[in-house]
Amino acid sequence: MFSLRIACFAVLAFNLIHATPADARPVSVAVVGDSLANDLANGMEDNFAGKPVRVIKLTQFATGLVRTDYFNWNGTVQNALRHGDANVVVIVLGGNDHQPIRVDGRRLDPLTKEWRAEYARRVGHFMDTIGKSRGKLYWVGLPDVRSDKLGLGYRAMNAIYKREAAKRKLRYVDIWGKFRSKDSAYSSFGMSLEGVKRQIRKDDGMHFTEDGRRVFADYVSRAIGLR
Amino acid sequence: MLFPTPEFASFFLVVFVTAWALRTQLEARKLFLLAASYFFYGYWDWRFMALLAGSSLFNWAAGLLIAGSSNETARYRLVALATAANIGLLGYFKYYNFFMDSLTDLTIALGIQRDMPFLEIILPIGISFFTFQGISYVVDVYRRQIKPVASPIDMALYISFFPQLVAGPIVRASHFLPQLDKTPMLTGTAVATGFLLILNGMLKKTVIAHYLAVDLIDPVFSNPSQATSTDLVAAHYAYVVQVYCDFSAYSDIAIGAAALLGYRFRKNFDRPFGTTSLQQLWQRWHISLSTWLRDYVYRPLRGDKRDAGWRMYRNVFLTMLIGGLWHGANWTFVIWGAIHGSALVIERTIKTRWHDWQMSRLRLAPAGAAVTTGRLTPTPLAAFAPAFIGWFITFHLFTLAAIFFRSPDLSTAAEYFRAMVTAGGGAELTTPFIAALTVASIGVHFMPGGGMERIAERIGGWSGPALGLLLGFGLLGIAVIGPEGVAPFIYFQF
């Protein structure tokens, strides 16, 4: 796992270093996080193609703030952002965190009081870490998902992100329910940017399709003033 | 309930003990295994248990109706209806929204943009496998290759038997149903085979496939535009090893688990990366699907005549295209199938011409020339060179086409190909360990086959506790060297 961390850091640092000054674009957006962040970054790349906005992906699939033994975001992102020139940093993280946390040999089950306290501590610590970068910071909450159980967890986790972000005067972007159909239930389908009904969420009930990620990116870009 | 988990181990232990306790009571044993299989399926999503039962009963009734009719036209209509119903079921769950999405693209292209009636459909796990088993059953009854099964319990167990239910291998009724009526025997060799297959599967899935996926393939395929050329090239090789280790592992564990319950499944993979032609590769890769496609797609397309020329090529191409689409409702799979179909057509064309040319040379050569001058008898180098070229082209065609198989959409695949050529850069994620794991995993395909069977024969005489220790320590060793956690099997999504 150590070699994986080193390799990931190398990739993140490489991306940042190579994203910088030469082409001197006015906006450089670093999208940080897991596979949902990757969807957002891909959508931004599509939407901003040919425009003076550079998108830097700092994404690692199947990671989060719970399994720090597997991938430590604090150690990785701090070094990566220090070497880059991103003037906007957008974070989407937590999609894989609805699972037990192990602290000193104890198992804290998701959404218990102790779990929430420990998770809030980790989120706060990560926000402090990433807050040391030079860019404007935005934390994007988790989207609604097909699974009711997971959705319940995500709502509680979003409340934690929102609270911790407010404590640090960090802008929180709420996307919950923003890609739903009119009847307000979770739906895999919605309006594309071209204004036609398309499948916007993948069959896994969580991730975004090619059309969906553009809708996702458009919503977040507007929320953070990029469009 | 994934195979390499404590939940499955506990479940299997209960099933194993109870099934052998019921060894002499065949009907009770079948009922128990049926209940266990439905529990296994319902553990994921109980809502689709009715669908599984409905599919089994429908095909059972269709088999009886087909066999009961002596009128050939009626038989033909019945089998066509049953097949259409099975395909309709699969089409609804798997392809409806893909069709609507493609129709949306078409209306946009024609400038008559319309909102299509998309439906919120959840794909039932294993549906591609159990509908294919249903189709093969009714068609085999129609072809009079098997007799219809009288008992709905037998039919339901054939369709839902848990080792093969969610990700194959696609078991044939003619092979499995007769085994249900024999008193099962648990020989030392069967136990040893079962244990070795399970250990082999666990090693491939939880160690090799996992390391390759986590350390190289997933990061590279998630961001191909930001990976180096070296990593992209390495990841596309590693990916075919991952798919092989993942899916053949599932097959191994399924075949091993069935063996421990006293049933025999046929081999589903046989060292496919050591083959020197694409035709050969498809005879050794996912054998149960390849033979299914041959028997239930290619042969009906061909009809009674043995076609040659363009009709045969068209049928080969269409069979592979359908095989591609079977893997998923996505244009990436259609292209993957089309690549394999086209390549098989080209390969057959070249082989036919090569064969004709060699025949004409033999006809022109004076009698005894091959023996006396050796001109037509290939030297070892002359024999090796075409084999190597055949392997090289086959393997690379397979690995390059797999980029479409792995990519979530066409733009990612295109980006992958572009970056592989233009990105430059050295190995950042491809560690010596990952490279060695990839090369070694391909290398074992060149070893002689049947090694596991020989070992099973040799250790089959060991006592029960000794074999138990082998399994226990083997699993422990795999747990120690493998990374933590279990990723879902790739073929679950199909």
B 396-425 residues with CB below 8 A of A?
408-409, 411
A 74-133 residues with CB below 8 A of B?
none
**Using a CB-CB distance cutoff of 8 angstroms, which residues of chain A are in contact with residue B227?**
11
Strand order in the sheet with A88-92: A53-59, A27-33, A88-92, A136-140, A171-173
Asked if B327 is an active-site residue, the reply is yes
Interface contact A210-B411, CB threshold 8 A: yes
Q: For residue B4, how many C-alpha atoms fall within 13 Å in the half-sphere facing its CB?
A: 30
Q: Say whether residue A9 is in contact with chain B using an 8 A CB cutoff.
A: no
Q: Reply yes or no on whether the pLDDT at B13 is more than 60.
A: yes
**Using a CB-CB distance cutoff of 8 angstroms, which residues of chain A are in contact with residue B419?**
none
Q: Say whether residue A14 is in contact with chain B using an 8 A CB cutoff.
A: yes
Give Cα separations from B248 to B167, B197, B317, B419 (angstroms). 10, 10, 25, 30
Torsions phi, psi for A131 (to 5 deg): -65, -15
Lowest mean pLDDT among A23-37, A126-140, B34-48, B389-403: A23-37
Task: Report the b/e string of B381-400 with b at 16+ CB within 10 A.
Answer: eeeeeeeeebbeebbebbbe
Q: Where are the beta strands (DSSP E) in B326-441?
A: none
pLDDT in tens, chain A (227 residues): 445 455 545 555 545 444 444 444 478 899 999 999 999 999 999 999 989 898 988 888 888 999 888 788 988 887 777 767 788 999 999 999 999 998 888 999 999 999 999 999 999 999 999 887 777 899 999 999 988 889 999 999 999 999 999 999 899 999 998 887 666 678 899 999 988 999 999 888 899 999 999 999 999 999 998 87
pLDDT at A16: 47
Q: Is the ipTM of this complex over 0.95?
A: no
Separation of alpha carbons B161 and B177, rounded Å? 11
- Residues B367-388 have a mean pLDDT of 67
pLDDT at B79: 97
pLDDT at A183: 63
User: B232-246, pLDDT tens digit by residue?
Assistant: 999 999 999 999 999
Interface contact A197-B484, CB threshold 8 A: no
Comparing CB atoms, the residue among B122, B223, B428 nearest residue A57 is B223
| Three-state helix/strand/coil letters over A48-66 | CCCCCEEEEEEECCCCCCC
**Using a CB-CB distance cutoff of 8 angstroms, which residues of chain B are in contact with residue A11?**
219, 226-227, 428-429
Quick one: closest CA in B to A41, which residue? B223
Report whether B108 contacts B34 (CB < 8 A). Answer: no
Report whether B177 contacts B59 (CB < 8 A). Answer: no
Separation of alpha carbons B443 and A171, rounded Å? 53
Considering chain B, what percentage of its residues have pLDDT values greater than 70? 95
Q: Reply yes or no on whether the pLDDT at B113 is more than 60.
A: yes
- Residues B59-79 have a mean pLDDT of 95
**Using a CB-CB distance cutoff of 8 angstroms, which residues of chain B are in contact with residue A197?**
104, 115-116, 118
User: B318-331, pLDDT tens digit by residue?
Assistant: 999 999 999 988 99
Report whether B413 contacts B407 (CB < 8 A). Answer: yes
User: B198-231, pLDDT tens digit by residue?
Assistant: 999 999 998 999 999 988 998 899 888 889 999 9
Interface contact A188-B118, CB threshold 8 A: yes
> From the CA of A60, how many Å to the nearest CA of chain B?
7
Comparing CB atoms, the residue among A187, A197, A210 nearest residue B120 is A187
Q: Say whether residue A201 is in contact with chain B using an 8 A CB cutoff.
A: no
Query: How many beta-carbon contacts under 8 Å exist across A and B?
Result: 66
**Which listed residue (B210, B236, B327, B340) is catalytic?**
B327
Q: Say whether residue B106 is in contact with chain A using an 8 A CB cutoff.
A: no
**Using a CB-CB distance cutoff of 8 angstroms, which residues of chain A are in contact with residue B214?**
4, 62
> From the CA of B202, how many Å to the nearest CA of chain A?
20
Report the mean per-residue pLDDT for chain B.
Answer: 90
From the CB of residue A15, how many other CB atoms can be counted at a distance below 10 Å?
A: 22
Query: Residue A117: in which H helix or E strand, if any?
Result: helix A113-130
Lowest mean pLDDT among A80-94, B62-76, B282-296: A80-94
Q: Say whether residue A22 is in contact with chain B using an 8 A CB cutoff.
A: no
**Using a CB-CB distance cutoff of 8 angstroms, which residues of chain B are in contact with residue A145?**
none
Q: Reply yes or no on whether the pLDDT at B155 is more than 70.
A: yes
Q: Say whether residue A62 is in contact with chain B using an 8 A CB cutoff.
A: yes
Residue B161's contacts (CB-CB under 8 Å, 6 or more residues apart) are B33, B37, B171, B176, B258, B263
Comparing CB atoms, the residue among B223, B428, B433 nearest residue A38 is B223
Best to test chain A binding among B113, B226, B433 (most A CBs inside 10 Å): B226
Give Cα separations from A186 to A146, A180, A190 (angstroms). 6, 6, 10
Structure tokens at B76: 């033909």
Interface contact A62-B218, CB threshold 8 A: yes
From the CB of residue B450, how many other CB atoms can be counted at a distance below 10 Å?
A: 10
Q: Say whether residue B219 is in contact with chain A using an 8 A CB cutoff.
A: yes
Rounded to the nearest 10 degrees, how much is the dihedral formed by the CA atoms of B282, B285, B291, B297?
-60
